[in-house]
Each structure stands twice: as C-alpha cells, then as structure tokens.
C-alpha cells in the first residue's frame, strides 16, 4: 500500500500539469474500482477546472471549480501516468519507463491542451469519488484521521497524550490512522530504528505519569519527520508497483536500515547484531534487537 511519501510524490508530480488545467473530457472505461465510480462520472468532470491538488493522509484531493472535490486513493497497485506534457523528474539509474497503455487503464482525463492523466490499477483496490467541498473533512474516509506527521499538529506533546493510555505495542499504535495520518508499515519500521525504540515497546511509555512527553517521544517525532522528508525527496520507495508520475522509480528503498533486511547485519557502527523479523497484527516488522530498546 503506498504510504504518505509515495502519495505526496504523486501529488507533486501532478501539480505542474493538472493544477489550473481544464478537463476537456473524461473516460471511465469500467463502472467501478474498489467501489462504483460516481454517478455520471465522465459528464460531471467534463469542462471542470482543477483549482488545486492536495493530500490528506494517503488520499489525493483535487479541488474542482463548482465546489466539489475528487478524492483519489491509489489502493494496492494504482498509479497515475501523465502523457503529452513535459514532466520534470529525477534522472538516474532507477529510471523505469511505463507502458503506453493497457487493459488496466481504467480512468483517463483529457486536458485542454492535449495532455492526458491516466489512472491505472491492475488490482482495482483504488478508488475515485466526488464529494462536495464543504463535506470533505466529514467524509467517512477522512473523518477521524489524526494529524499529518509533517504538520504543526504533530509534536512530542501530542504523541505523548495520544499514547498515554495505550497498552498496545508502539508499532501497532503508530499504524493507527486515527493517531497519526499517512504512516504505514515501511516508514514506521524505519522511524522506530532511527529513534532506537523497540517495536514491541508499549505505546504508553512515550508519556510520563502526568502525560508529558518523554525523551523517547521527542526522538520518535524527529525520526518520523526525518524519514518522511527523506523519502519524499527520494521519490518514495519502489516496492512492487510504485512509480512516480513520469514513470521513474522512487529509490528511498536503497537507504532502508531495517525494512526487508531480515538476517542482514545491522548498519549501526559497532553493532554486531542482525536485523530480525517478527509479525505484529499481521504485518512484518523489521528491527535490530540491540539498537532498539
């Protein structure tokens, strides 16, 4: 599942082409993805101007003129391809050209000026919805989400308060989208390693008895912010399906310290341990038992 850095990478790739553009026409090549497409989907998009491209957690938000927002979720295998417009990208050895088209190109937006934006989703776990602008934050997909980890509302004091009474493992708590929005398995593993915290540690240990943040909470907030910023700069992590909108691979996975490195030596200087893998809540967790306490 694409996490915050992958979705933010897609948002930034879409902005130069889609923001401010007029959708001349739209194609819906099937009636549904994860859920049915909005009624009269193509007709409702024709002639609309895209005012802004935003993101909330793992959702892309396209503000349309007329007071509506198109919500797009990439699902497990969704991607967006831009053609017919220059897209600046990151050159390098991880470049991977996309196919020109195929049976999984389910939605195509034809923009005034000739560019096209195509949503491709082989597994069809993605989604596209259109909702009124004034209902966006109360929509079931977005209501109740925690603060953005790169926003001003996410800090050590907040994290300590949110975790103070949680008896769950810290890894599980951080994956709760109601606690913090957009984090997923990969970046939680990496952040916990950077903060030197065991994924098995109980979440409430980030707070003192009176709910104040401990040094652990401060380290973890810094680690989360740092790992997300670095991943966004790298274009995300290309595990299986993720590509940037220009077809290039994200390459943050080449700097992973623990994720996917089971049995390999820990990269911390003077550490002689190896990376372990355990399963928590049905998800693989990678960590160093020496460096993470």
257 flagged as catalytic: no
Name the active-site residue from 3, 8, 190, 248: 3
Name the active-site residue from 34, 124, 283, 289: 283
Q: Please give the full DSSP string across 222-268, using - where no structure is assigned.
A: HHHHHHHHHHHHTT-B-STT---TTSPPPBGGGG-SSTT-TTSBP-S
Q: Edge to edge, what strands does the sheet with 50-56 contain?
A: 50-56, 59-64, 68-73, 127-132
- Cβ atoms of 82 and 13 within 8 Å: the answer is yes
Name the active-site residue from 44, 48, 55, 58: 58
d(CA 88, CA 97): 14
Name the active-site residue from 2, 5, 149, 213: 2
43 flagged as catalytic: no
- Cβ atoms of 236 and 91 within 8 Å: the answer is no
How far lies 11's CA from each of 62, 73, 208, 226, 264, in Å? 9, 12, 38, 19, 34
Instruction: Count how many Cα atoms sit within 13 Å of the Cα of residue 8 in the half-sphere of its side chain.
Output: 21
d(CA 190, CA 170): 13
Cite the active site residues.
2-3, 58, 283
């Amino acid at each position: 599942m694409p996490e915050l850095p992958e979705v933010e990478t897609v948002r930034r790739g879409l902005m130069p082409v889609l923001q401010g553009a007029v959708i001349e026409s739209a194609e819906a090549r099937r009636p549904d993805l994860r859920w049915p497409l909005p009624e009269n989907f193509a007709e409702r998009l024709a002639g609309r101007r895209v005012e802004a491209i935003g993101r909330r957690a793992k959702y892309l938000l396209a503000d349309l003129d007329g007071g509506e927002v198109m919500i797009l979720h990439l699902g497990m295998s969704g991607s967006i391809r831009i053609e017919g417009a220059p897209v600046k990208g990151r050159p390098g050895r991880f470049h991977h050209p996309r196919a020109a088209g195929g049976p999984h190109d389910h939605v195509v937006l034809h923009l005034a000026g000739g560019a096209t934006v195509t949503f491709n989703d082989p597994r069809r776990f993605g989604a596209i919805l259109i909702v009124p602008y004034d209902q966006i934050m109360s929509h079931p997909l977005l209501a109740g989400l925690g603060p953005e980890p790169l926003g001003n509302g996410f800090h050590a004091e907040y994290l300590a308060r949110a975790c103070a009474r949680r008896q769950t493992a810290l890894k599980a708590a951080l994956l709760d989208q109601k606690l913090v929005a957009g984090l997923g398995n990969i970046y939680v593993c990496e952040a916990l390693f950077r903060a030197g915290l065991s994924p098995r540690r109980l979440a409430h240990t980030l707070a003192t008895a009176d709910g104040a943040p401990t040094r652990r909470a401060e380290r973890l907030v810094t680690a989360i912010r740092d790992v997300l910023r670095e991943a966004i700069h790298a274009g995300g992590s290309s595990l299986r399906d993720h590509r940037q909108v220009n077809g290039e691979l994200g390459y943050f996975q080449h700097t992973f310290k623990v994720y996917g490195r089971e049995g390999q030596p820990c990269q911390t200087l003077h550490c002689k341990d190896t990376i372990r893998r355990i399963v928590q809540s049905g998800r693989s967790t990678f960590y160093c038992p020496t460096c993470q306490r």
